[in-house]
Amino acid sequence: MLTRLDEHFGPESLTVLATYQCTAACKECCFECGPHLRERLPREVILDVIRQAAQFKTLRYVVFSGGECFLLHQDLIDAVALASSFGLSVRCVTNGYWAVNEQAALARLKPLVEAGLTELNISTGDDHQEYVPFQRVITGAMTAARLGIKTLIVVEGSKNSKFKAEDARNHPDFLTFKESDPAGDNLSIISNVWIPFHEDRQLVHEKSLIRNPDENFKVQGCDNILENFVLTPSHQMASCCGLTMEHIPEMKLGDVRKHPIKELYFNQFEDFLKIWIYVDGPERIIRFAQKHNQSIRVDNTVHPCQACATLYLRPEIRKTLKDNYQEVIDDVMRRFYLKLALRKYTEKFFRESPRIKHGA
Ligand code: SF4
Ligand code: SF4
């Protein structure tokens, strides 16, 4: 299978999590990051993995996240410059702690933009604001937008959050910036579902966000798995967005010191469950398990990765899938190749336009 796929398929994005150290210690952080964590990838490893990843013709983005990627200082600038030299779009995801004022924000952002940074995402919300005030988020975001890059403030939360995307949009600095600054169009605010990772935390979500595959045809396959891959601070390559990988051992693909990343990437196509998730998504697979084992009860989920963690971590679901997957394997594999064919068609379109540089 590897050889055939090799010609047609590859990841669209690489996410580099060079450290789980962070200036914040948000309660629901998916990697349980914090100031006390010291593990950090050496500069040469980060650069080597970017060089290897750029050999995939399908690669469009490199994303630096963490942990707090701004703690990498000069290594981050060098890594952004390297990714950009391959014509890749480059995004940093940060909590904005460094934007204590406009001057400080400019001092951190200008070298990154000059190195080729094309997008900045700043995360905020109730948990983040225990460590980083929103004023820093808006200052950092406006500075990035003025430097000409696409900038997004992502408000993580739930129905019972105190701070919501609306509060960010009503902030006087944001309103003035959008109304009167020529860079206003570069800055947007979105809200994102904050997934609970602790059972004692009660996050209430809007009913409309509940992902019921029986009622919502949009609850489909996961495009992150097999299309994104992640480098972790412990030299592991991992599948998908990385959100749940520290909770799901099967998402880890292997050590980049021992294997070329191309080998690690293609090995995952030997895992039928990953292909099934790519085609149908975790919610529909859980429904399949429930049809075969009516004792399986699952709480409502509001995020596909929450459902994925349920699927992988509940032994009775795994067993039911193992006992019954033969029933769907031919159909899933047929739809997998169909999805690949469609992807190849759109990929051809992108491949025929040159890799995009500097914010286009
Ligand atoms: S700012 Fe982000 S990486 Fe840091 S602790 Fe909070 S959620 Fe985790
Ligand atoms: S749904 Fe599963 S496979 Fe997809 S991104 Fe989330 S954790 Fe990864």
The structural domains of the chain, ordered by start, are 2-270 (3.20.20.70), 272-352 (no CATH)
- Which residues make Cβ contacts (< 8 Å) with residue 226, sequence separation at least 6? 9, 11, 239, 240, 268, 269, 274, 275, 278
- Which ligand neighbours the alpha carbon of 192 most closely? 1
Please name the amino acid found at residue 335. R
Say if residue 82 is exposed, middle or buried (CB neighbours under 10 Å; 0-12, 13-18, 19+).
Answer: buried
Task: Quickly state the pLDDT bin for 3 (edges 50, 70, 90).
Answer: very low
Cβ–Cβ < 8 Å for 228, 240:
yes
In angstroms, the CA 345 to CA 224 distance is 18
- For 157-167, how does the pLDDT look when each residue is reduced to its tens digit (9 = 90+)? 877 899 999 99
Is the model's pLDDT at 325 over the cut of 50?
yes
Q: Tell how far the Cα of 249 is from the centroid of ligand 1, in angstroms.
A: 21
- For 77-132, how does the pLDDT look when each residue is reduced to its tens digit (9 = 90+)? 999 999 999 999 999 999 999 999 999 999 999 999 999 999 999 999 999 999 99
Q: Does ligand 1 come within 6 angstroms of the Cβ of 29?
A: yes
Please name the amino acid found at residue 302. V
Say how many residues make up the chain: 360
Task: Quickly state the pLDDT bin for 60 (edges 50, 70, 90).
Answer: very high
In angstroms, the CA 26 to CA 46 distance is 25
Task: Quickly state the pLDDT bin for 242 (edges 50, 70, 90).
Answer: low
Q: Does ligand 2 come within 6 angstroms of the Cβ of 282?
A: yes
Q: Collapse the DSSP code of 54 into the 3-class scheme (helix H, G, I; strand E, B; otherwise coil) and give the result.
A: coil
* Res 351: pLDDT: 55
Is the model's pLDDT at 307 over the cut of 80?
yes
The whole-model pTM stands at 0.88
Instruction: Say which DSSP state 40 is in.
Output: B
Q: Is the model more confident about 349 or about 151? A: 151
Ligand 1, residues 123, 156, 198, 232: which to mutate, most atoms within 8 A of Cβ? 123
Q: Is the model more confident about 214 or about 146? A: 146
Residues 143-155: what's their mean pLDDT? 98
Q: Which of 108, 107, 45 is nearest to 82 (CA)?
A: 45
Q: Which of 30, 17, 28, 38 is nearest to 248 (CA)?
A: 30
Q: Does ligand 2 come within 6 angstroms of the Cβ of 277?
A: yes
Task: Quickly state the pLDDT bin for 217 (edges 50, 70, 90).
Answer: low
Q: Does ligand 2 come within 6 angstroms of the Cβ of 225?
A: yes
- Which ligand neighbours the alpha carbon of 306 most closely? 2
Q: Are strands 61-65 and 187-193 parallel, antiparallel or unpaired?
A: unpaired
Beta bridge partners of 21: 34
Ligand 2, residues 12, 253, 277, 301: which to mutate, most atoms within 8 A of Cβ? 277
Atom index in ligand 2 nearest the CA of residue 282 equals 1
In angstroms, the CA 142 to CA 247 distance is 35
In angstroms, the CA 197 to CA 205 distance is 14
Q: Does ligand 2 come within 6 angstroms of the Cβ of 310?
A: no
Q: Does ligand 1 come within 6 angstroms of the Cβ of 22?
A: yes
Instruction: Name the residue at shortest CA distance from atom 3 of ligand 2.
Output: 225
Task: Count CB-CB contacts under 10 A for residue 332.
Answer: 19
Q: Are strands 187-193 and 228-231 parallel, antiparallel or unpaired?
A: unpaired
